[in-house]
Structure formats: structure tokens, C-alpha cells
Amino acid sequence: MSKISHLLFSILTALFTSVVFYFIILELSSFSRSSDLLFAGVLIFVLVFVVVYIMSKIFIYSRLKQLYVTIHNYRKTDVEEQEVEKIEFSNDVIGDIDREVSVWAEERKTEIDRLKKLETYRKEYLGNVSHELKTPIFNIQGYITTLLDGGLEDKSINRDYLQRAENGVDRMIGIVEDLEAISQLEAGQLELEFEKFDIVSLVKEVFKAQEMKATDKGIMLNFKDVDEKPVFVLADKFRIRQVLTNLVVNSIKYGKEYGETTLKFSDVGENIRIEISDNGIGISEKHLPRLFERFYRVDKHRSREQGGTGLGLAIVKHILEAHNQAISVMSTEGVGSVFSFTLKKA
């Protein structure tokens, strides 16, 4: 309530009350002179005005201020509550309250929406974890049960089933290690060891390590517009090797047979941009916003057939964020994908 509106409210209330009392006095009183009646009316008006102004100030204005303070302090949960006297008010307290309530309601709506998304994500995440672990556990259980029921003496299957069980254990270990790595990265508990190294040389190492997988699908691993000169960056070499390996392996998994995976470097000021592109199956636009979520798979059946934990791109994202960098992706179905990220120059 502004001071002007408060004043007008008091005047109008006093005027209405004094007029009513004036006519009552006029009917009941023995005043003979009009000047006496006028004086009585003015006196009533003044008295009513003072009483209404003061009482409304105490019981309405002060309580509105307290309401404002309560809402204001509720929103400022990260700071100590402020005293009424320390908060600056405009002349329009009701307007202030209206704005505070509107902002508060919008913040609560945003918070509720965020919590709903987190709840949905939590349910999906728990379901994905249980599913990813359940598959190798059931496989291992089946192989061991078969061996205990007599298969152990059958030379045609015993070693094969033991090898399959071991593969299932390796898959479970991989999932647990990836989950642990993501948790440490998110919590900031995984310390990065920054060093100066040649990123071109590291990419060659990764290409060489994945050469057999690429050859099996007839995929060529190439550099684009890159000479033999070294390009030095400042980063955690071990973690960047993980990033490159994951992106190259994905490009091979989802690349077309006899296609190619190409790596390109670009100079972008203080950073070097690394792009890994392929001419594979591509990714639908609707999947791109969730591509770096844990266990998110574009094609779940195909992805599990190809192997992997479903955590690779999530780890890539967190490793680069720990370097204060980010990863981006551009993709078109049936054409291919381009993953790119930057690293600080040494």
C-alpha cells in the first residue's frame, strides 16, 4: 500500500464517518447555530482521520511489511534472515508483495519441475543400472549352473562356458568401474594430472590400438588436414586417452562397413578443437539432448549387441567438464556424426 493510497483511504473513511455522525448529531443535538454543527463535523472528521490513519498504519501497513519480510526471507534461504528495518521498501508495499509472491511462485514452479525431472531421471537410472547388471549376472548364473549340473565333465563345453562366465564378470567389473569414475568426477574427488603432451601422437596411439576393430569392418582411420608436426596441449593425458578411445570406438561400432573415421584439429585461440567424424548410421535429432546421460542408448537392442556399458559418453562429458571444456555433437541419420571438443594449448 503506497503512502498516497493509505492517505486517501484514511481521508475517505474519515469523511464518510464524519458525514454519518454529522447527520446523526443534526437530528439528535440541540445545536442551534450552524457554526457549532460545522465545528462538530470538522472535529469528528479530524478525530476519525487520525484514528483510521494510525490504526491502519499499525494493523495493516505493518503486517503487510511483515508478510513481505517473511516471503523475502523465505526466498533468501542462502543468507541470514533480515530484520524488518533493514529491508528497503518502496512506497507501494502491496506492489512489492505482489512482485515477491509472483517471483516466489515462479521459483517454486521451476524447482518443482526440476525435482520431477530428477525423480524421473532417478527412476530411469536405477532401472538402467539394475538391467545392465542383471544381464551379465543371469548369464554367469546360467553358465555356472550348467557346469555344476554335469557340464564341468563335458570337455566340449566346460572351457567355453567358463570363458563366457569370465566375460560376464569382466562386463560387470567394467560397469562398476565406470560408475565409480563418474561418481568421482561429479563429486570432484578424481584429481586430474595435467601435463604437456602431443595430442597428435596420442591420437595415433589410439588409432593403432583400435586398428583391428576398424579393419574387421573395413573402416579407415584417417587424419584430415593434419601434418606430422606435434600439437601440444595441457591436460590429463590418461583421461584424454579415455575420451579419444571412447569416441573412436563408437565411430567404429556405429560406422558403415567400409566407411571411415576422420579426425581433424582446428586452432581456436587459446584452445585446440578436436573433431571426430564418421559416415555411419547417424543419430536422430530427438536423441541428441540426452546422448550424454548415463546408460542412455539410442538403439538399446543394437547397443547391447555391440557391447559396452552405456556409460562411455557420460564419462567423456564429465572428463571434459573437469578440464573446464565441453563436448558437442552434430549428427544426421544415415549421413554420420561429428563429435568435437576443445583442449587448452600448452
Residue 318 in domain: yes
**Does residue 308 sit in the same domain as residue 205?**
yes
Q: Is residue 99 part of a domain?
A: no
Q: Is residue 110 part of a domain?
A: no
pLDDT at position 56 is: 66
244's grid cell: 579419444
Same domain, 178 and 203: no
Domain boundary among 169, 187, 205: 187
- Does residue 55 share a domain with residue 38? yes
Instruction: From 137, 152, 187, give the residue that closes a domain.
Output: 187
Domain that holds residue 166: 115-187
pTM above 0.95, yes or no: no
Kindly state whether residue 131 falls inside one of the protein's structural domains: yes
Residue 214 and residue 322 in one domain: yes
At residue 205, the pLDDT reads: 94
What is the per-residue pLDDT for 120?
75
Instruction: Give the integer Cα–Cα distance in Å for 187 and 152.
Output: 45
Residue 196's pLDDT is 96
Q: pLDDT tens digits, residue range 274-315? A: 999 998 888 888 888 888 887 777 765 555 555 556 788 888
Look at residue 71 in the predicted model and tell me its pLDDT: 67
334 and 198, same structural domain? yes
Q: What is the pLDDT of residue 105?
A: 77
Residue 181 sits in the same domain as residue 202: no
The pLDDT assigned to 339 comes to: 95
Residue 227 lies in a domain: yes
Considering the domain architecture, whether residues 202 and 182 belong to the same structural domain is answered as no
Is residue 167 domain-shared with residue 145, that is, in the same domain? yes
Q: What's the pLDDT score for residue 220? A: 92
| 314 neighbors 293 (Cβ within 8 angstroms) | yes
Asked if the structure places residue 13 within a domain, the reply is yes
Contact 174, 185 (CB under 8 A): no
Q: Which of 52, 58, 44 is nearest to 13 (CA)?
A: 52
Structural domain ending residue among the three candidates 187, 214, 243? 187
Q: Is residue 43 part of a domain?
A: yes
Strand partners, 277: 262, 338
DSSP string, 67-107: HHHHHHHHH-TTSPPPPGGGS---S-HHHHHHHHHHHHHHH
183 and 202 assigned to the same domain: no
Residue 109 lies inside a defined structural domain of this protein: no
| CATH code, domain carrying 265 | 3.30.565.10
Same domain, 42 and 174: no
Residues 212 and 172 in one domain: no
In this structure, are 285 and 313 located in the same domain?
yes
Spans in the chain with pLDDT lower than 70: 1-10, 12, 14-16, 18-41, 53-98, 121, 226-228, 299-309
Provide the number of structural domains found in the chain: 3
